[in-house]
């Protein structure tokens, strides 16, 4: 690992992000509009069921944050594949580690900016969710780690499978969210889905978010479970990532990607 290489990649990421207009739209437009939609719903639901509206809103905040954190990293990798520039990067001495670390740093910066924006908007709808800023920060941190872990795993899939399966970069998270029971307790799922749900990285994060609305705190056990879950994903992700690159070099996929 060399800091100059990671710095160069991050510099390039921001050049691309600011010059490719559709990326700005994707990064900011969707989270902002989603929060506006559910924010108005939360306002309306105050008259019918205060907590339901708040739950929908807070889950959407973390859902969008997770999406931007994960997809920013993976879309940058796909752009390098689509542009045919991946080989040029690795020819310059940039290592697999430099490459993913730079992606994760850029994704963290971008997603935190978006998070600040959507939290700011949410404040106008439901100031009550800001009563526990420390708990919000903890959930943000755990969600970020979970999203980074998924980014590393999805990057491995993209490097191993090439252009044809590029859509994983922006679709996989949706499945993980769905299986993480975002708006309902896991117990509402059929038994077999419950087993799957408990090993999803976001299940306990969403449970913590719902708890924040329902009982005013995440709960120590939920925090611990969510932290363990995302840490396991994060640890598993790295060997998969290195193996994917090793395989891509062995099978010639890396040369074909470029």
Which residues would be at the binding site for other proteins (CB under 8 A)? 2, 4-5, 7-9, 11-12, 15-16, 19-20, 79-80, 83-85, 87-95, 246, 249-252, 254-255, 258
User: Distance (Å, rounded) from C-alpha 100 to C-alpha 97?
Assistant: 5
Cβ proximity to other proteins: between 11 and 195 the closer is: 11
Q: Are 146 and 230 in contact (CB under 8 A)?
A: yes
CB nearer to other proteins: give 26 or 79.
Answer: 79
Shortest distance, CB of residue 150 to other proteins, whole angstroms?
Answer: 24
Burial per residue of 66-92, b for 16 or more beta-carbon CB atoms within 10 angstroms, e otherwise: bbbbbbbbbbbbbbbbeeeebeebbee
| Cβ-based nearer residue to other proteins, 84 or 185 | 84
Residue 87: CB minimum distance to other proteins, A: 6
Count the Cβ atoms, other than its own, within 10 Å of residue 55. Answer: 24
Nearest approach, Cβ of residue 254 and other proteins (Å): 5
Q: Are 10 and 98 in contact (CB under 8 A)?
A: no
**Cα angle vertex 76, ends 72, 77, to 5°?**
120
* Shortest distance (Å) from residue 164 CB to other proteins: 16
Q: Which is nearer to other proteins, 16 or 119 (CB)?
A: 16
Dihedral, 158, 163, 165, 169 alpha carbons, nearest 10: 50
Rounded Cα–Cα distance for residues 166 and 76 (Å): 11
Q: What is the DSSP letter of 217?
A: S
What distance in Å separates the CA atoms of residue 175 and residue 204, rounded to the nearest whole number? 16
Beta carbon of residue 72, minimum distance to other proteins (angstroms, whole number): 15
* Residue 80 or 135 having the CB closest to other proteins: 80
Nearer to other proteins, 55 or 257 (CB): 257
- Minimum CB separation of residue 68 from other proteins in Å reads 20
Q: What Rg value do the Cα atoms of the chain yield, rounded?
A: 19
Instruction: Supply the minimum distance, in Å, between the C-beta of residue 83 and other proteins.
Output: 5
Contacts of 237 (CB under 8 A, 6+ apart): 149, 150, 152, 153, 156
Nearest CB to other proteins, comparing residues 87 and 225: 87
């Amino acid at each position: 690992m060399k800091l100059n290489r990671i710095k160069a990649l991050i510099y390039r990421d921001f050049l691309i992000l600011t010059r490719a207009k559709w990326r700005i739209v994707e990064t900011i437009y969707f989270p902002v509009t989603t929060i506006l939609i559910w924010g108005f719903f939360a306002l309306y639901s105050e008259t019918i069921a205060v907590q339901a509206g708040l739950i929908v809103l807070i889950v959407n905040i973390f859902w969008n944050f997770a999406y931007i954190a994960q997809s920013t990293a993976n879309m940058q990798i796909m752009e390098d594949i689509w542009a045919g520039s991946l080989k040029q990067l690795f020819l310059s001495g940039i290592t697999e580690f430099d490459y993913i670390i730079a992606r994760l740093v850029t994704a963290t910066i971008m997603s935190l900016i978006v998070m600040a924006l959507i939290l700011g908007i949410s404040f106008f709808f439901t100031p009550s969710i800001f009563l526990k800023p420390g708990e919000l920060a903890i959930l943000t941190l755990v969600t970020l780690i979970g999203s980074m872990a998924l980014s590393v795993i999805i990057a491995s899939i993209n490097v191993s499978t090439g252009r044809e399966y590029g859509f994983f970069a922006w679709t996989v998270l949706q499945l993980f969210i769905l299986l993480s029971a975002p708006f309902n307790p896991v117990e509402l799922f059929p038994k077999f889905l419950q087993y799957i749900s408990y090993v999803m990285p976001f299940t306990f994060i969403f449970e913590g978010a719902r708890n924040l609305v329902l009982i005013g705190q995440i709960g120590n056990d939920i925090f611990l479970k969510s932290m363990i879950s995302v840490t396991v994903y994060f640890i598993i992700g790295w060997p998969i990532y290195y193996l994917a690159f090793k395989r891509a070099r062995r099978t010639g996929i890396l040369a074909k990607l470029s």
